Chains A and B, each alone.
Chain A
Amino acid sequence: MNIDIAVMQVFNGVSLFTILLLMAIGLAIVFGLMGVINMAHGELMALGSYVTYLTATAFSKFAPQWMGVYLFAAIALAFAVTYAFGYLLERGFVRFFYNRPLDTLLATWGLSLILQQAYRSIFGAQEVSVPLPQWLSGAWEPVAGIQLPISRIFIIGLTVAVAFGVYLLLNRTRWGLKVRAVTHNRAMSEAVGIDTQRLDALTFALGAGLAGIAGCVFTMIGSTNPGTGQLYIVDSFIVVVFGGVQSLIGTALSGFAIAQTQTTLEYLMSGSMARVTILLLVVVVLYFRPHGLFAAKSRS
């Protein structure tokens, strides 16, 4: 394996890491900070993908000269739509299942089936193709022989921005302070006057919105069909649980570990065997550290 291939493999690892992080960060917020197991997280990503598809179609019909920048509008719209949908979902459905994790699991699983069929009925069972903006196609060749796809570079940049944004939100804003307080001790937070119900709704909505951004990003590298969500949900949960459910740093680090190991193993053995090995490693680590790599301490 020469140096060019090695560099591209490392890049692939970083790219996969950012994709896993984008998928898992929404789930980490909802699962980690609220304790809600949202099996419909994949379908929220699919919603973001479909919103991107609709944005692209609208742009190509009404403003074809702006097709180059439709992606930014799509990201904003995907976030907005899934945020609003998440808010409604929390208020109307999820909040009845707090403190009943098994029921939440079953209920959100049912919700994911409903959403999948809704996508099938509205958009058709067929995949829809989302056009890639011209400036994102192709690869960047810093040195002859090393090709780094531009779309993946864009995704890395976007994930860094999103992760940084979430970090600022959680650690430098008043709202973030309240969220962290509620995670550590809900009863005490209510006692000091924090409106936990409104906070829960906004937190869930934010998790959903992040899933929407992830879905928008996936249109660049994968296919958009009603079953898209199912492909990503398992990986998202593995990353979150492996990293430690209540720690966002844990999610990031576990995403990095899994991504790099996976790309390296995929190069050395077949794709299926690499996946088997990764899952076995996750099982072994969880056996010795059941709360994940970085379990945060709390009084709950």
Chain B
Amino acid sequence: MRTKRVRAGAVVAVAAALVGCTAAVAIAAPTVHRASQISIGFFAPESGFAAADGQSAYDAAKLAVNQINAAGGVHGQMLKLVNYDDGSDVKQAVSIATKLVTQDHVTAVVSGSYSDQTLAAAPIFQRYQTPMLAAYAVNPGIPAAGSYIFQQDYAGNVEGAAGAYTLVKMLHATKIGVVSIDNDFGHALVAGFKAEVAKLGASIVETDFNQFGEKTFTPVLQRDMGKGANGYYMVQYAAEAQQYMTDWNQLGLKKPLVGTEGVDSTLQFVKPVGKAADGLIFTTPFNRDGANAVGKKFISTFAKAYGHLPDMVGATTYDSFLELKTALLKGTSAEAIQASIAATRDFNGAAGTTLRYTSGRSAVKPVDLEIFRNGQVHHYAYIRNLSIITP
């Protein structure tokens, strides 16, 4: 009898303890109506072969977040940058995307990475309904991942078409040799380029796709010369473009040459190549000469913070955060952010003006053409034809 009472007492005591603990936890845990920070995910190739671009993008991201927070954040809430290095690795980008949505619970994401990595990550953000802005990845498949995925830079086929317009209509090339990096970026641009060349009635003598790290372009350039090329389209990143220009100059070629935003890197191309690139015209969203107020502020604060002038990668990343801030001011839910970005009109950023987004979430913005003169980059022209710049 006494044992039964002791047992019953113990059970009641344990039950009371459990109820008490639960109550204590319920009282202690604050009821959170509003987060104190807004987490924004960010990933870029901060190591690996693309580390220079990744570092530039990350620097711009930090600058943007610092400036936004210094100005009071978003209705008093500070932005928290949740940054990961994807190491220029697609598999890593997928892991990062999963982590950002399932563990870090970010409100939105900016991709400061290349097309391959962004293309792999986008479906994950779409699945978790997390808005993502691709700062400079241009593959058209990226916004096609879904309604929450936006492409802040103009699509690759748009840029390719603009390159074709420049070579054929402005520089009067009729037979063109194309050498492109063999990745999503390169293929997207070449597809747009070829389509526009065909429309304009010119022809392509040869198209070559090279691997990263290619250092010798003389054989293909000579072959294209032999086939009568009177214009050249170079879709390369800074390292490969540098070698291309070396071989170009060694061969003494004096034909029109158009490049792409892949060479828009202050430290990796403009500075080392300098006058050897004189005459090269390239498509980019970043007009240094005609920078608007946002652009001027970005250039000066970036240079002050990091000791060198920014490039396209930095400018587009910076703009992505500014666009995100504009959207967050209207609402921090995924739906509100998505709707706000989709409704963007005439957004003035450091990398030009985004006129609007298409229903497919690709930016419509004029293509800036820059030219190398005396080793410096200067504005050459704008392509505003809606038939070209609308994806």
Pair from one complex: no
Q: Name B residues whose Cβ lies closer than 8 Å to a Cβ of A.
A: none
